Chain A
Amino acid sequence: MPHPSRVKFKYFGMQNFCGENMPVSLLSFIVLLGVYAVAIIIGIWYFLYGKKGESETSE
């Protein structure tokens, strides 16, 4: 019998992807970290390629 909270989560289809025994809160934690990873990639992209339009001097 799956945990009630797992049943709620089924509509996202991720439970099947991650396996029957993975706690929902762990999956949410992984998603949380995944979103942070996206933010860091955007941050690195800006750090490397965000020079366009910068005024170089400290005026």
Chain B
Amino acid sequence: MRLVNEAGIIVILYSILTVIIGIITSKYVKTIEDFIVAGRKLGPWLVALSFNSTALSGWLILGVSGWVYRQGYQAAWTLWGSGAFAVLASYLILGKYIRRFSKITNSLTIPDMLEIRYYDQKRHILRWISAIIIFISTVIYTGGLEATLAKAFKYVFGIGAVESVILGSAVVIVYVLLGGMLAAVWTDVLQGALMVITSIMLLIVGFQAGGGLDLFSKVDAMAAKDPNIILTPWQSPSVILYGISLILFASILSYMGQPQLLNKFMGAKDDPTIRKASLISLITQIVLFIGVLVAGFAARVLWPSASMLPNKDTELVAPFLIENYAGGIALGILWAGVLAAVMSSADSLTIMATSSIVNDLYYKIFRPNASPKQLVNLSRIVTLLIGILGIIVAFQPLLLLWSIWLGWSGLAVFITLLLPGLFWKRATRESAIIALIVSFIVGMLWFYFGLQNILHITMPSLLAGFAIVIIVSYLTKEPPKEISELVEKIKRGH
């Protein structure tokens, strides 16, 4: 109980600090541009840390460490993808072009961009479909984040499953309504730094508890008894095939399609900022992933059977390791790190989903004369709705890894329009509309029929989307001349 008390105090102190930063920085938010893209004034450190902490949530510290515990180096493909190459691809391939498009066309959100690029300003079909996809995916994603906090509260305070889900969901909703909506980027920096500290702690404690480099001999011995532990990322054809779906689709292409991450590029003050931020993002992201890998292996060696874990839950190996080998203060830092990871994703996600409904639909299509107060009130209602609907997901007996991945996969479909839209003049409006719908439905059905253990959801979903964009574009009338000129202008940068 002593450990829990120390951990609880640190978690409470951290929460107060986050809200204070949110309130202080909120004074600088004066326009809608400040609110959605931070006034396009962000420097490299802010862009980088905000990008990382938004991308990674409780999925990393709890989900991935549990995945390594269960399946060893199958996770390596995601560690390479999400840990490094997805970050590089996002910055190197998309970063400066997204920023330029946003600035040249004065678009503040991804639905804004898509509507302009795919010349759909009259009918707003793409805007509607985008808003629906963003809303559904955000509800699922937020549900996964609420479930993460539920695990945390169940662990720290020993309360029941129902109470912990309600408490976890309430904390996410209250935070986003009060603090998160105000100044996500600055709190993201604090949260990003805390996540890095947590991961370094997991790396050190994991190696110490696991016996240094002997940890790996023990993992090998463990694998001899349990065929589920994958010892090399190329152990069998199925491991490699699943790995390809992880690295290329679930990581690289999915990162490039996440609207809440691309918003960070829109907020960058210039092209050099994005170049500089890329290296900071890359190195911190690698540190984040290595820590959870070592923690997962150490836990597997120390507690070979899931029945030895709290609540028999493999996604609690990281806190259990820290509690047993590093003490209460370290456990408090870890839970604050988990809280940071959850909140930093929740705030950016909710801002994106709320702006896609309130700004992109309500304000731009239905009520251009709406007052700022009306817009703020509606934003709060939408936020509340996302949080409450998320509770349904949080109650599902899903691994965090998958509930968060499902929301992530839904948002990833935007890459099937963004890549062709930015680099291929021939991509047409009709192809974009069909691709967005089909890609999203394929992904959800793949999960519904339980096929996600054969190939990651994103592989069939994104392949379908890209194929449709190419085929339908050739079958339909070429885009207007202004669109070709716009694509050229984005490439040139002026």
A pairs with B: yes
Give A contacts to B, CB under 8 Å: 3-6, 8-9, 12, 23-29, 31-33, 35-36, 39-40, 42-44, 46-47, 50-51, 53-59
What are the interface flags for B79-110 relative to A under an 8 Å C-beta threshold, 1 for contact and 0 otherwise? 11001110010011000100010010000000
CA A35 to CA B84, docked complex, whole Å: 9
* B83: chain A residues within 8 A (beta carbon): 36
Residue pair A56, B270 in contact (C-beta under 8 Å): yes
Q: Is B275 an interface position by the 8 A CB rule?
A: yes
* B223: chain A residues within 8 A (beta carbon): 5, 24-25
Instruction: Tell me how far the C-beta of A20 lies from the nearest C-beta in chain B, rounded to whole angstroms.
Output: 13
Q: Which of A12, A39, A59 contacts B282 (CB 8 A)?
A: A39
Residue pair A23, B282 in contact (C-beta under 8 Å): no
Can you list 22 A-B pairs with a CB-CB distance of less than 8 A? A3-B220, A8-B231, A8-B235, A25-B72, A25-B73, A25-B231, A26-B216, A39-B88, A39-B282, A42-B88, A43-B283, A46-B278, A47-B275, A47-B278, A50-B278, A53-B96, A54-B275, A54-B493, A55-B100, A55-B493, A58-B40, A58-B270
Q: Is B175 an interface position by the 8 A CB rule?
A: no
Given contacts A25-B297, A28-B231, A54-B96, contact A36 B84 (CB under 8 A): yes
Q: Is B213 an interface position by the 8 A CB rule?
A: yes
Name the residue among B73, B216, B221, B234 with the largest chain A CB count within 10 angstroms: B216
Residue pair A39, B85 in contact (C-beta under 8 Å): yes
* A40: chain B residues within 8 A (beta carbon): 84, 282-283, 286
Residue pair A51, B73 in contact (C-beta under 8 Å): no
Residue pair B271, A54 in contact (C-beta under 8 Å): yes
CA A6 to CA B96, docked complex, whole Å: 45
* A32: chain B residues within 8 A (beta carbon): 73, 76, 79-80, 233, 293
* B293: chain A residues within 8 A (beta carbon): 32
* A24: chain B residues within 8 A (beta carbon): 220, 223, 231-232
Instruction: Tell me how far the C-beta of B296 lies from the nearest C-beta in chain A, rounded to whole angstroms.
Output: 12
CA A51 to CA B60, docked complex, whole Å: 33
Q: Which of B100, B103, B286, B493 contacts A36 (CB 8 A)?
A: B286
Q: Which of B96, B216, B270 contacts A29 (CB 8 A)?
A: B216
| Total interface residues in chain B, CB < 8 Å | 44
Given contacts A12-B234, A44-B279, contact A28 B88 (CB under 8 A): no
Instruction: Tell me how far the C-beta of A11 lies from the nearest C-beta in chain B, rounded to whole angstroms.
Output: 9
CA A44 to CA B271, docked complex, whole Å: 16
Residue pair B275, A25 in contact (C-beta under 8 Å): no
CA A50 to CA B297, docked complex, whole Å: 38
Q: Is B426 an interface position by the 8 A CB rule?
A: no
CA A25 to CA B209, docked complex, whole Å: 17
Instruction: Tell me how far the C-beta of A53 lies from the nearest C-beta in chain B, rounded to whole angstroms.
Output: 7
* B91: chain A residues within 8 A (beta carbon): 46
Q: Is B380 an interface position by the 8 A CB rule?
A: no
Q: Which of B73, B221, B275 contacts A50 (CB 8 A)?
A: B275
What are the interface flags for B455-494 relative to A under an 8 Å C-beta threshold, 1 for contact and 0 otherwise? 0000000000000000000000000000000000000011
Residue pair A50, B282 in contact (C-beta under 8 Å): no
Instruction: Tell me how far the C-beta of A15 lies from the nearest C-beta in chain B, rounded to whole angstroms.
Output: 11
Residue pair A43, B282 in contact (C-beta under 8 Å): yes
Residue pair B286, A50 in contact (C-beta under 8 Å): no
Given contacts A39-B85, A50-B92, contact A23 B493 (CB under 8 A): no
Given contacts A35-B84, A36-B286, A40-B283, contact A55 B231 (CB under 8 A): no
CA A40 to CA B138, docked complex, whole Å: 32
Residue pair B283, A55 in contact (C-beta under 8 Å): no
Residue pair B213, A39 in contact (C-beta under 8 Å): no
Instruction: Tell me how far the C-beta of A42 lies from the nearest C-beta in chain B, rounded to whole angstroms.
Output: 6
Instruction: Tell me how far the C-beta of B280 lies from the nearest C-beta in chain A, rounded to whole angstroms.
Output: 9
List which B212-235 residues lie within 8 A (CB) of chain A: 213, 216-217, 219-221, 223-224, 231-235
Name the residue among B100, B213, B220, B269 with the largest chain A CB count within 10 angstroms: B220
* B372: chain A residues within 8 A (beta carbon): none
List which B265-311 residues lie within 8 A (CB) of chain A: 269-272, 275-276, 278-279, 282-283, 286, 290, 293, 297
Residue pair B232, A51 in contact (C-beta under 8 Å): no
CA A47 to CA B463, docked complex, whole Å: 31
Instruction: Tell me how far the C-beta of B210 lies from the nearest C-beta in chain A, rounded to whole angstroms.
Output: 11
CA A20 to CA B386, docked complex, whole Å: 55
Name the residue among B233, B269, B278, B282 with the largest chain A CB count within 10 angstroms: B282
CA A1 to CA B282, docked complex, whole Å: 42
Residue pair B272, A5 in contact (C-beta under 8 Å): no
* B92: chain A residues within 8 A (beta carbon): 46, 50
Given contacts A43-B279, A50-B92, contact A55 B494 (CB under 8 A): yes
Q: Which of A3, A28, A29, A39 contacts B286 (CB 8 A)?
A: A39
Given contacts A55-B271, A58-B270, contact A43 B493 (CB under 8 A): no
* B220: chain A residues within 8 A (beta carbon): 3, 5-6, 23-25
CA A50 to CA B91, docked complex, whole Å: 11
* A59: chain B residues within 8 A (beta carbon): 103, 270
* A35: chain B residues within 8 A (beta carbon): 80, 84
CA A43 to CA B285, docked complex, whole Å: 12
* A33: chain B residues within 8 A (beta carbon): 290
